[in-house]
Amino acid sequence: MRKHFRQTHSFTVLMLAMFVAQLSGCASTSASPSTTEFNAPANDVSNANEHSPQHQQQHTPPAVVEQYSDVWEKIQHANTIDVHDDAEVRKQRNFFDDKQKFMNQVGERAEPFLYYIVSQLEARNMPLELALLPIVESGYNPLAQANGPAGLWQMIPATGRNFGLTVNSAYDGRKDALASTDAVLDYLQHLYDTLDKDWINAVAAYNTGELVIKAAINKNKAKGKPTDFWSLGIPAKRVQTVPKWLAFIQIIRAPNHYNLKVRPIANRPFLDRVPAPNGVDIGQIANAAGLSKAEFKTYNPGFRQGVIPSKGKYQIALPLENIGQYQENHDKLYAQKRYDSQSYIVKSGDSLGTIAAKFDTSVKALKQANNLTSDRLKIGQELTLLTPMAANDNAPEPAKANTKSDSKAKSSTKTNANGTKTTSSKSADMPTAKAKTYKVKSGDSLDKIARKNKVKLADLMKWNQLNSKSIIKPGQELKISE
């Protein structure tokens, strides 16, 4: 018995020493790196520890959500998109090799938005590699503006409106990083479903147009050939986004191999959205949330004016850590001076002075409201005019929103009782399945029409032979069932 005790005791001491050594090793290597270095897939790490004593004693498996602390690393391990060893992809990869300054910029700009984009892709069961598309489109700059396209995803106005974004003189939903992500993912899913279930086809169509890729697919089908992107033989010049996007997939999968380091972005929510207070100066909102005006604009680049539009429902994005402070100060915003906004189209003979006099404002106020740096105006240019809101409009936004929806419901009931506008009220109550067509109204978009009639946007587009760039006009009749 004594001999057995000694052996057991020695074994215990030995195991204890090994365990302490293991803990020391962990302590020396667990510090967070300043940049992300992907050396081995997480699965390989798990397998290496599978037979260790510590692993055997662990009965509760780690939660999946905790598997990656860095969002880039999560994308790296997705492995959904198959990247061929293509000459154009290699060319793009070589171009970005060692471009550390650019990658630093991308990491800094992407930090507020990347988690949201990846979480939305994950929720929709879409490839996480699609989160790299804004690197190619805009360098992850939500304020990026070309001739027509704008925002992180570089959407054109017609596509943005068709997929539910508001684009006007006061607000551009394409520059709202969160709202535009929702719209773009709807669009990419539509393209994937339409273009033979191929995600690279979808990205190619996003770049060059749905009809171009559809024609190439139909041509291959007629010849009995495959319809995946690599079989379509589309010249690289027509789909420049594709090889760049595929090159970045390879770079993110192994950045060290390309002399690059990727700034880590925490795998947890950064922003959340709350209702925006109509007519309030964005400087006051920023102050209420404990942010600088520049920080607020970084998270909310969709607002084109110095105030939240006075009409319509909008949302603002705030860092989670600032939402509590904003809610505490929310009601105080309505005690401040608020503004009503309206649009004015510049006519022949107009000047800032004549417009200011006509609307009882100043040239300085007019220039501030429209971010103008010179006095020059163009015929047809849209200007925003700000006038102080009436005192009785100073109710908190949630109350206004509820009252508005309640009054809408009541007026709908009154309309039925009085017998006026019977057609519109009946169509609201009538099951949408019975309707065959829908007449487009002013302010409609394909997304709004689809939601109003409870049909899929993809179906609506298919039934009417429309694509993302199609323009619909008031009075136009659309099929809303097959």
The candidate with the shortest Cα–Cα distance to 198, out of 160, 166, 226, is: 226
- Which of these is catalytic: 73, 137, 210, 397? 137
Does residue 408 sit in helix, strand or coil?
A: helix
Active site residue 108: no
Please say whether the beta carbons of 299 and 315 come within 8 A. no
Instruction: Give 72's Cβ-side CA count (13 Å radius).
Output: 24
Give 108-112 contacts, CB < 8 A, sequence gap 24+.
108/263, 109/139, 109/140, 109/141, 109/142, 110/134, 110/135, 110/140, 110/265, 111/263, 111/265, 111/270, 112/177, 112/270, 112/271, 112/298, 112/299, 112/317, 112/319
Question: 397 phi and psi, to 5 degrees?
Answer: -55, -45
Say how many Å lie between the first and final Cα of the chain, rounded: 86
Q: How far apart are CA 221 and CA 233, in angstroms?
A: 13
Q: How far apart are CA 179 and CA 312, in angstroms?
A: 15
The residue type found at 74 is: K
Within 10 Å of residue 154's Cβ, how many Cβ atoms? Answer: 24
Please say whether the beta carbons of 369 and 386 come within 8 A. yes
Tell me how long the chain is: 482
Q: How far apart are CA 431 and CA 476, in angstroms?
A: 21
Catalytic amino acids? 137
